[in-house]
Amino acid sequence: MTYCEQCGSTSHDEQGFCLGCGTRLPGFASAQSQNQTPSVFHQPRLAEPISLQSIGAVDLAQPQAKNVWVAVMLALLLGPVGMFYCTYLGGFVMIVLSILGDIFIGRYVYWLLLPVCAIWAWFAARSANSVY
């Protein structure tokens, strides 16, 4: 039985490489004939460059495209919280306005602010998708 000098493993493939660490075992070097081509599996591979898109990272330099109708529906259904999909500033402003409106006007202010949220979300999503 052949033992690997590097890791002590007894498992190897038919080409004479240790399956534990990948080094060539000394007993198999003389048994391999000179006219055989080496296996593609054991060829050293060059490291491929890793891009941000391949690992799922978000490119922070480019704004992400926003669906206009999703932005409008979220603003209509969730109010100021739904505006965070397309604009953070608009979401914070409308939350402050809804709290102040609730204090000074009453609970009916939400019905007035929902169309305003939807219109603001529509403009914000369109501007996020524009080229200029």
Q: Which domain holds residue 74?
A: 68-129
Domains in the chain, number: 2
Whether residue 49 lies inside any domain: the answer is: no
Distance (Å, rounded) from C-alpha 25 to C-alpha 18?
6
pLDDT grade for 35, boundaries at 50, 70 and 90 = very low
* Structural domain includes residue 50: no
Q: What is the pLDDT of residues 61-94, one digit of tens each?
A: 555 678 888 999 999 999 999 999 988 999 999 9
| CA end-to-end distance (rounded Å), the chain | 71
Residues 59 and 36 sit within 8 Å (Cβ to Cβ):
no
pLDDT of residue 34: 46
Could you give the 3-state DSSP secondary structure of residue 24?
strand
Cβ atoms within 10 Å, residue 94: 25
Contact between 15 and 28 under an 8 Å Cβ cutoff? The reply is: yes
